[in-house]
Amino acid sequence: MLMIREFFKRRALLRIISKMSPALIKGYGSRDYYSAGQVYQTALSLDLSKRYFKYNLALFCCETEPSLANKPMISEALFTDLRDEIKHKFFLGSDYSAIDIMKLIHAPTWKGGRMDDYMSHHRGMNSRF
């Protein structure tokens, strides 16, 4: 049961990373860390699940801000626990920044379908095209 829960948590974290990273870069540029207000507003604009909002802060922020401590209801102890969990889950225990998190996104690859350049693949490696 624990393995299934960890599988879904990891999948949710990767989905958060894939949605939040481009939005944060577009809105605020590429940075080592984002403020809690920037992460909060971006998560609200993307309409992400509030269940994993604490992970948004742990992924992209360096420290919690006292002004936003009431909104997501995250304490400093929980924040450090979540950062340690992410550190061990994705980075083998080493410290990370928001740029390291954004590097976890993979570019979309070819997912099948017909090749557009038929002539260059017609004769394989012996093709003159």
Instruction: State residue 43's pLDDT score.
Output: 92
Q: pTM, whole model, 2 decimals?
A: 0.72
> How many C-alpha atoms does 7 have within 13 Å on its Cβ side?
4
CB-CB contact of 40 with 20 (8 Å): no
Cα gap 11→69, rounded to integer Å: 26
Model confidence at 84, pLDDT cuts 50, 70, 90, reads very high
Give the dihedral of Cα atoms 6, 45, 41, 105; nearest 10 deg: 50
Instruction: State residue 49's pLDDT score.
Output: 83
Instruction: State residue 30's pLDDT score.
Output: 87
Tens digit of each residue's pLDDT (9 = 90 or more) over 22-70: 999 999 988 889 988 889 899 999 988 888 888 998 999 887 666 555 5
> Length of the chain, please?
129
Tens digit of each residue's pLDDT (9 = 90 or more) over 88-113: 988 888 899 988 888 888 766 666 66
Give the chain's mean pLDDT.
Answer: 81
Q: At 104, give phi and psi (nearest 5°).
A: -75, -15
Cα gap 115→32, rounded to integer Å: 39
Ordered by start, the domain boundaries in the chain are 10-108
